[in-house]
Structure 1
Amino acid sequence: MEYLNFKLIIASVLYSVIGISILMLSFFVIDKLTPGMLWKEIIEEHNMALAIMAAAFMIAVSLIISSAIHG
């Protein structure tokens, strides 16, 4: 049972939830800072450049969050 440390599992789940929450919050902030509705532009208007920008932003914020969690 030493491989199954429940404190580490709970910490991993907690950090994952916190990281995903921060990522969603930052996407919401970027959505409000950009002109128009980001999701509408990507889905309905098929704006590929905006989709690439949003993906790059999400990857960058994810890397920052994972670095902060990992230490």
Structure 2
Amino acid sequence: MMLTTDTFLATMLYAGLGIAIFIISFVLVDRLTPGELWREIIERQNNAVAILAGAVAIGISTIIAAAVHG
């Protein structure tokens, strides 16, 4: 299968759209959680919050990938 310009542009569009949705979703989750997520992770070295943030990121990514893939 040959990579055409249309296929490449569609791939870039879907990738950009997925990244944008991921960022918006993660910021929304950050705002909805009590406290300051990044302060807990960086300054206080809270591993539980870091694991939660990672799990949220993986979950959002999986949902976006499934939606984009079809």
- Output the amino acid matched with 1:56: A
Map of 1:22 onto structure 2: 21
Structure 1 unmatched runs, 5+? none
Root-mean-square deviation (CA), in Å?
Answer: 1.1
In 2: Cα distance, 1:14 partner to 1:66 partner:
13
Q: CA deviation at 1:33?
A: 0.8
Q: CA deviation at 1:48?
A: 0.5
Map of 2:69 onto structure 1: 70
The runs of at least 4 consecutive aligned structure 1 residues that moved more than 4 Å come to none
- Number of equivalences: 70
Map of 1:38 onto structure 2: 37
Q: CA deviation at 1:4?
A: 2.6
User: Among the aligned pairs, what percent are the same residue?
Assistant: 47
Structure 2 unmatched runs, 5+? none
In 2: Cα distance, 1:47 partner to 1:8 partner:
43
TM-score when normalising by structure 2: 0.92
In 2: Cα distance, 1:34 partner to 1:15 partner:
28
TM-score when normalising by structure 1: 0.91
